Amino acid sequence: MGKNSLTLSKIYSVEEIKEKIALMGTGQLKDGSSVTPGYSYHIIPLAGFEEVPEHKTACISEYDTIKNLNNFKNKNVLEIGCANGYF
């Protein structure tokens, strides 16, 4: 892996992850589908990432649509093909 690739060999701090996000879309970091510097592809719903801008906010309404299609309480769901990651 390249020097800018995220790996599981280290636990990154919120600030270190934000530094990696800042490289997305600059040609320096190829991971993900972000094409604008400093933007994540989708919302990162975790503490510390509230101010990170994102390309795709439709994931919220997409999730609500899927959630409202059926009662998923006490069920397992296998989601296949979603490149979004928000679900």
In this predicted model, what pLDDT tens digit does every residue of 26-41 receive, in sequence order?
666 555 566 777 888 7
**6 close to 14: Cβ distance less than 8 angstroms:** no
How far is residue 85 from each of residues 2, 37, 54, measured CA to CA in Å?
23, 20, 13
- Any idea where the domains of the chain sit in the sequence? 1-87
In this predicted model, what pLDDT tens digit does every residue of 34-76 receive, in sequence order?
677 788 877 888 889 889 888 777 778 887 888 888 888 888 8
Provide, rounded to the nearest whole percent, the portion of the chain with pLDDT above 90.
1
